[in-house]
């Protein structure tokens, strides 16, 4: 049980201090409980504002204005989780196009919603890979309507559009893969996706729940010169509070309106657009915009140092490790990282299909063993991946490096 969280560190009920790179499911870009947010919330509660009233509030408009200005979106709608945001985005796309089918990439995580639970986990059986559903309880007719393609493979993407393009409502993709491997999309891949969705009349949804406001004070799509039809945001924009958003074209978002002919029921939700959540969101997003030139270059430098430090430490102890999270083709390096253990130095780690395949990487070592081994060294990350916050320091990265060295010494006798 965690009893305190501040900056880059946690304290558990036994008094242990833990260096935390999980950072609230990668949401806390300033670290745990940043004063810039907590002081505003504390003052609001003292003034008897912040709990749900059930009334609209100007904070909805103010937060929407920030998102529109920083992402190129025309309209915004708020909800409470990334799962709901991606679900509503897909519903909007299906209503707008009148089509049923949805395409996603293998290993892409879009929350525990019906169209997102196919192609999440990798199965080793011949020809299965990501072509299966990761849950019971869904009708086969729904999951049959989900096409799974391969991340960062433009030729495969073209093949899938030739086969399914006129039946697809949307292509939903993370421009920077999160849980599936911490992997940046290539410029060629994302621009090909934009061209093909235009060609076939398919709604392009960029799921930026993880990537949004992680690389810059805005969307990451702009760094690829890709303007999606819809985008989803969450995690960072909430400032540590539960809020997410769907943002995009006015003609698609207009289907939410009460008078729309094909109305999408994107409403209700007792805690949607919650006052305290939106106050935190407005405060955090405004701070990131105002301090963009200070925050993001430093995070990128720390991210690069983290990845290189981890690789070097494992190499010094005779274990080959690779950290994903690098930028390329104009995308700056990220403040995220994931540790992989490929069997061969020439292995490509360009998609979840690569890093999730146990014939390519020691997947169990990354996702199971590493988390527990690092926890014994007072470092917390989940499934081999984590993120830097602005509160982390060079000394914290060195601490992580030394923890990885101790883990390598413990593990190498078994490898």
Is pLDDT above 70 for 295?
Answer: yes
Please report the sign of the dihedral spanned by the C-alpha atoms of residue 404, residue 388, residue 80, residue 266. Answer: negative
Query: Which alpha helices (DSSP H) does 291-384 contain, by range?
Result: 292-316, 352-355, 363-364, 370-375
Task: Tell me the two tokens of residue 268.
Answer: 């209700």
Q: CB burial class (10 A; 0-12, 13-18, 19+) of residue 99? A: buried
Whole-number Å distance between alpha carbons of 216 and 227: 15
Mean pLDDT of 361-382: 96
- Name the pLDDT band for 127 (thresholds 50, 70, 90): low
Is the Cβ–Cβ distance between 224 and 331 less than 8 Å? yes
**Token match 């760094």: residue?**
223
Q: Tokens 């009708």: give the residue.
A: 139
Q: Give 137 or 233, the one with higher predicted confidence.
A: 233
Q: What pTM did the predictor assign?
A: 0.96
Please compute the mean of the pLDDT values over residues 222-230 and round it to a whole number. Answer: 97
Set out the domains of the chain in order of their start, with CATH numbers.
2-33+292-414 (3.90.1150.10), 38-290 (3.40.640.10)
In tens, the pLDDT along 248-263 reads: 999 999 999 777 666 8
Tokens standing for 369? 């063993």
pLDDT at 260: 62
Residue with tokens 């409470």: 80
pLDDT at 330: 60
User: Is the model's pLDDT at 128 over the cut of 90?
Assistant: no
Q: For residue 139, what pLDDT is reported?
A: 85
Q: Shortest CA distance to 230 belongs to which of 57, 117, 87? A: 87
CB atoms within 10 A of CB 136: 5
pLDDT tens track for 176-189: 999 999 999 999 99
Q: 109 pLDDT band (50/70/90 cuts)? A: very high
Helix axes 35-46, 275-290, angle to 10 degrees: 140
How many Å from the N-terminal Cα to the C-terminal Cα in the chain? 32
pLDDT (tens digit, 9 = 90+) per residue, 21-62?
999 999 999 999 999 999 999 999 999 999 999 998 999 999
pLDDT at 143 over 90: no
d(CA 243, CA 41): 15
The length of the chain in residues reads: 415
Mean pLDDT score, 93-104: 96
Burial 234-260 (b: 16+ CB within 10 A, else e): bbbbbbbbbbbbbbbbeebbbbbeeee
Question: Taking Cα atoms as reference points, which of 221, 192, 236, 210 lies closest to residue 31?
Answer: 236
Q: State the pLDDT at residue 263.
A: 82
pLDDT number for residue 241 = 98
Sorting pLDDT into bands at 50, 70 and 90, what band is 328? low
* pLDDT of residue 124 exceeding 70: no
Rounded alpha-carbon distances, angstroms, from residue 90 to 102, 155, 174, 180, 301: 8, 24, 14, 20, 36
Q: What is the reported pLDDT for 141?
A: 84
What pLDDT is stored for residue 122 in this prediction? 76
% of the chain with per-residue pLDDT over 70? 97
Q: Give 80's pLDDT tier (boundaries 50, 70, 90).
A: very high
Q: How many CB atoms neighbour CB 368 within 10 A?
A: 12
Residues whose CB falls within 8 Å of the CB of residue 173, separated by 6 or more in sequence, listed in order: 104, 105, 108, 151, 185, 190, 193, 204, 205, 206, 207
Average pLDDT over residues 87-108: 96
User: What secondary structure letter does DSSP report for 358?
Assistant: T
Alpha carbon distance 319, 309 (integer Å): 13
Burial class (CB in 10 A: 0-12, 13-18, 19+), 23: buried
Give the whole-number percent of the chain exceeding pLDDT 90: 86
How far apart (Å, rounded) are the C-alpha atoms in residues 368 and 380? Answer: 13
Contact 181, 107 (CB under 8 A): yes
d(CA 11, CA 4): 5
Q: Would you say residue 132 has pLDDT above 90?
A: no
pLDDT, the chain, mean: 94
Average pLDDT over every residue of 67-93 = 97
pLDDT digits (tens, 9 = 90+) for 151-160: 999 999 999 9
What CA–CA distance (Å, rounded) separates 407 from 339?
A: 13
Position 150 scores a pLDDT of: 96
Structure tokens given for 282: 């407005």
Strands 203-208 and 230-233: parallel
- In DSSP notation, 120-187 reads -S-B-STTTBT-SBS-SSS-HHHHTTEEEE-TT-HHHHHHHHHHHGGGEEEEEE-SEE-TTT-EEPPH
What stretch of H or E contains 43?
A: helix 35-46
């Amino acid at each position: 049980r965690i009893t305190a969280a501040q900056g880059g560190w946690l304290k558990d009920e036994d008094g242990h201090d833990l260096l935390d790179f999980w950072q609230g499911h990668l949401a806390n870009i300033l670290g745990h409980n940043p004063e810039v947010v907590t002081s505003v919330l504390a003052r609001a509660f003292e003034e008897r504002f912040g709990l749900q009233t059930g009334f609209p509030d100007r904070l909805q408009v103010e937060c929407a204005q920030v998102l529109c200005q920083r992402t190129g979106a025309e309209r915004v709608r708020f909800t409470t989780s990334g799962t709901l945001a991606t679900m509503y985005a897909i519903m909007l796309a299906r209503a707008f196009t009148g089509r049923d089918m949805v395409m996603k990439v293998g290993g892409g995580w879009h929350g525990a919603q019906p169209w997102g639970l196919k192609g999440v986990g990798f199965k080793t059986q011949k020809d299965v890979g990501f072509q299966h559903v990761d849950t019971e309880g869904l009708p086969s007719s729904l999951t049959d309507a989900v096409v799974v393609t391969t991340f960062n493979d433009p030729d495969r993407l073209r093949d899938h559009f030739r086969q399914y393009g006129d039946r697809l409502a949307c292509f939903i993709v993370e421009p920077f893969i999160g849980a599936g491997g911490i992997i940046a999309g290539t410029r060629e891949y994302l621009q090909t996706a934009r061209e093909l969705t235009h060609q076939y009349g398919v709604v392009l949804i960029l799921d930026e729940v993880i990537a949004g406001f992680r690389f810059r004070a805005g969307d990451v799509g702009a760094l690829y010169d890709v303007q999606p039809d819809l985008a989803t945001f969450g995690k960072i924009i909430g400032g540590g509070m539960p809020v997410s958003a769907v943002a995009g074209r006015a003609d698609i978002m207009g289907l939410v309106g009460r008078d729309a002919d094909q109305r999408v029921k994107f409403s209700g939700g007792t805690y949607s657009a919650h006052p305290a959540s939106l106050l935190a969101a407005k405060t955090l997003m405004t701070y990131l915009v105002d301090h963009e030139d200070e925050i993001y270059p430093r995070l990128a430098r720390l991210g690069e140092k983290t990845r290189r430090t981890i690789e070097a430490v494992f190499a010094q102890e005779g274990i080959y490790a690779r950290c994903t999270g690098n930028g390329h083709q104009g995308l700056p390096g990220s403040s995220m990282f994931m540790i992989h253990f490929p069997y061969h130095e020439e292995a490509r780690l360009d998609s979840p299909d690569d890093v999730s395949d146990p014939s390519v990487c020691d997947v169990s070592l990354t996702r199971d063993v590493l988390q527990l081994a690092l926890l014994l060294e007072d470092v917390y990350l989940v499934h081999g991946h984590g993120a830097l916050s602005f509160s982390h320091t060079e000394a914290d990265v060195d601490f992580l490096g030394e923890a990885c060295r101790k883990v390598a010494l413990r593990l190498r006798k078994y490898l």
